[in-house]
């Protein structure tokens, strides 16, 4: 069960060369964005002719992290996209991968091995050449950072990225007397057991064939790998030994970067990026500067935009009423952001181990009404795992994927088949929700539907975040409210990420890696309606 948050999806593209007015049309983020035009009466923002090619951006705060491995969310990831360039970038219109540092790429027939050919004119801001070795070192470093790197899991499909499964069992000895005492010179001597050798660690599957050829070997086939590597976590850093210059960036300690912009100033009054002179495509970059402007809250940011003090407001938590008031203006843009709110069943608690029960509870939910009422029209009902408009460019079949539709007749039949006609003898559901007014309202709406349509009682358990996480990790719930922000446009990657982020609860029986992969493939089949 899930509700997809309709927010602006932020992207800073490789081609920063368009004029300011048109650039604003592609840098769309979170719930709203506002853009300038000469016809003031039709536009919310005041039109002020720019004195220079500078983009003044209110992006929900100031970037704090300028490290591709450590940047977790905007505005940090927006700054990283501007300062660092990966092997590929997303096309702003089609969302398909386009060349970045790599000019072209090719794969093996089974999509397990990918080879990227790097451009020879790519340079770091200190004029060093960008090479395949930079990517090898950077990806290894991201994995070594472990939990400090919030999106390191996106590298897990690379061969050798993860250690060998700890639960792999040694093969039994073939010697009949391996553990049998034997007589020697009238004395009993126990034969020493040979301790099995640990299986060899797989070789890291990222290799620099030469300075400008990078080869990547994957565990599972991935036809969309070129799109995945456009994510900020795959972007290279100049030198691992000097990485503190990125983590502790300041005006006097500028990190070396390879993107269209480089860091110029960091302060409480803003973060300034300037066009990188050594960027290989600098002639196509018209903007001279990108200024991240601080704002105390969404209302303050909007007032600054209306006064012409900033060129765009993104990543701002506007109330549903404000969104409705802004919607008629031509400089307001709205797009789907890939974030899910979903309810997770604790399958170690009966009767939630019965798929009929889980399906009945799922298809009884009125997603449309919740999206419009409790969420104030700021979301869209998640009747598919991924938004169609986000995946149509990379998955032509996604638009035809069957939707999850509300079906009370089938829900009641499934519940009866599971032994609970009209909810009789069904235990009271303990629904765990983090303390949040909006999520409490959603939970109350869901509980009302389960009671009215299926005859099932629900106890809503509200907890502050730390207590909520503790209860979830310990399995002290029947159903729990969870959320997930999609990092890619690939269904497989997102399913893998979503399952693994809650592995402690979703995997109470300590399933093996093979079983988890089977679960992943089952999830893929369900998403595609198979």
Residue 248 tokens read as 């502790």
pLDDT value, residue 101? 98
Give me the sign of the Cα torsion angle 404, 408, 410, 415: positive
Q: Which DSSP symbol is given to 253?
A: B
d(CA 370, CA 377): 9
Instruction: Assign 505 to helix, strand or coil.
Output: helix
Q: Are 189 and 181 in contact (CB under 8 A)?
A: yes
| DSSP H or E stretch at residue 85 | none
CA distance 35 to 39: 11
Q: Look at residue 95 in the predicted model and tell me its pLDDT.
A: 80
CA distance 395 to 301: 37
User: Which contiguous run of DSSP H or E holds residue 445?
Assistant: helix 437-454
- Cβ atoms of 53 and 22 within 8 Å: the answer is no
Closest residue by Cα to residue 69 from 132, 157, 155:
155
Is there a contact between 443 and 491 (Cβ–Cβ < 8 Å)? no
Q: DSSP letter string over 167-236?
A: TPPPPPP--TTTT--EEETTEEEPPPPPPPPPPPPPPPSEEEEETTEEEEEBSS--TTHHHHTTSGGG--
Report the pLDDT value the prediction gives residue 305, as an integer from 0 to 100.
92
- What pLDDT does residue 321 have? 80
pTM over 0.85: no
Query: Rounded to 5 degrees, what angle do the CA atoms 273, 264, 130 make?
Result: 75
Output the six-digit token pair for 127.
Answer: 């004029």
For residue 106, what is the DSSP state?
A: E
CA distance 54 to 102: 28
Contact 392, 399 (CB under 8 A): yes
Distance CA 476, CA 470 (A): 8
The whole-angstrom separation of Cα 191 and Cα 178 is 7
Do 314 and 8 contact (CB within 8 A), yes or no?
yes
Per-residue tokens: 11: 């992207």
Using CA atoms, how far apart are residues 5 and 3, in angstroms rounded to an integer?
A: 6
Are residues 521 and 512 in contact, defined by beta-carbon separation less than 8 angstroms? no
132/118 Cα distance (integer angstroms): 7
Nearest to 2 by CA among 452, 501, 517, 498: 498
87 half-sphere exposure, CB direction, 13 A CA radius: 28
Residue 55's nearest CA partner among 267, 250, 274 is: 274
pLDDT in the model for residue 9: 35
3-class secondary-structure state, position 121: coil
Alpha-carbon gap, residue 214 to 357, rounded angstroms: 49
pLDDT tens across the length of the chain (530 residues): 554 444 333 333 344 443 332 223 223 333 334 444 444 468 888 877 778 899 999 998 899 889 999 998 889 999 999 999 999 998 888 888 999 999 999 999 999 999 999 999 999 999 999 999 999 999 999 998 888 898 898 998 999 997 422 222 333 333 333 343 444 444 444 444 455 565 666 789 999 999 999 999 999 899 989 999 999 999 999 976 555 445 555 545 678 999 999 999 988 889 999 999 999 999 999 999 999 999 988 899 999 999 999 999 988 878 778 888 888 888 888 766 777 888 989 999 999 999 999 999 999 999 989 888 887 777 778 777 666 555 555 555 555 567 788 999 999 999 999 999 999 999 999 999 999 888 999 999 999 999 999 999 999 999 998 999 899 989 999 999 998 777 776 666 777 777 766 664 444 433 444 444 444 444 443 433 33
Relative to beta strand 113-118, strand 213-217 is antiparallel
In the chain, the domains with their CATH numbers are 10-84+258-333 (3.40.190.10), 102-161+203-241 (3.90.76.10), 339-527 (3.10.105.10)
């Amino acid at each position: 069960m899930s509700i997809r948050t309709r927010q602006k999806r932020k992207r800073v593209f490789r081609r920063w060369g368009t004029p300011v007015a048109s650039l604003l049309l592609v840098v769309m983020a979170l719930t709203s964005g506002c853009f300038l035009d000469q016809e003031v009466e039709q536009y919310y923002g005041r039109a002020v002719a720019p004195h220079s090619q500078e983009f003044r951006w209110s992006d929900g705060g100031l970037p704090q992290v300028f490290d591709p491995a450590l940047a977790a969310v905007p505005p940090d990831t927006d700054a990283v996209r501007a300062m660092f360039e990966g092997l590929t970038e997303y096309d702003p219109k089609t969302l398909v991968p386009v060349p970045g540092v790599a000019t072209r790429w090719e794969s093996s027939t089974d999509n397990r091995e990918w080879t990227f050919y790097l451009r020879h004119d790519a340079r770091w801001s200190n004029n060093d050449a960008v090479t395949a070795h930079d990517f090898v070192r950077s990806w290894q470093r991201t994995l070594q950072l472990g939990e400090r790197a919030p999106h390191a899991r996106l590298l897990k499909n690379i061969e050798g990225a993860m250690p060998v499964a700890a639960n792999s069992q040694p093969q039994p000895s073939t010697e009949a007397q391996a553990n049998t005492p034997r007589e020697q010179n009238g004395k009993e001597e126990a034969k020493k057991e040979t301790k099995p050798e640990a299986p060899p660690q797989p070789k890291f599957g990222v290799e620099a064939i030469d300075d400008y050829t990078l080869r990547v070997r994957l565990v599972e086939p991935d036809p969309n790998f070129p799109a995945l590597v456009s994510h900020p976590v795959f972007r290279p850093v100049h030198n691992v030994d000097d990485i503190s210059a990125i983590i502790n960036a300041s005006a006097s300690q500028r990190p070396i970067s390879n993107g269209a912009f480089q860091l110029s100033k960091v302060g409480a009054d803003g973060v300034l990026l300037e066009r990188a002179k050594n960027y290989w495509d600098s002639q196509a970059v018209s903007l001279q500067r990108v200024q991240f402007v601080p704002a105390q809250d969404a209302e303050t940011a909007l007032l600054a935009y209306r006064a012409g003090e900033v060129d765009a407001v993104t990543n701002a938590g506007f109330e549903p009423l404000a969104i409705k008031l802004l919607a008629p203006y031509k400089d307001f843009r709205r797009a789907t952001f890939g974030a899910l709110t979903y309810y997770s069943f604790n399958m170690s608690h009966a009767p939630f181990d019965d798929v009929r029960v889980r399906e009945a509870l799922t298809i009884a939910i009125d997603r449309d009404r919740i999206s419009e009422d409790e969420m104030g029209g700021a979301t869209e009902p998640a009747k598919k795992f991924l938004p169609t408009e986000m995946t149509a460019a990379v998955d032509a079949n996604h638009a035809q994927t069957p939707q999850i539709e509300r079906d009370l007749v089938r829900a009641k039949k499934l519940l009866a088949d599971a032994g609970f006609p009209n909810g009789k003898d069904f235990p009271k559901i303990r629904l765990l929700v983090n303390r949040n007014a909006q999520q409490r309202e959603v939970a109350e709406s869901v509980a009302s539907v389960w009671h009215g349509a299926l005859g099932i009682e629900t106890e809503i358990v509200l907890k502050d975040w730390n207590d909520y996480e503790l209860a979830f990790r310990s399995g002290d719930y029947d159903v729990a409210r969870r959320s997930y922000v999609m990092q890619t446009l690939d269904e497989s990657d997102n399913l893998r990420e979503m399952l693994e982020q809650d592995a402690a609860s979703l995997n109470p029986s300590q399933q093996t890696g093979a079983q988890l992969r089977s679960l992943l493939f089952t999830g893929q089949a369900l998403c595609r309606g198979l």
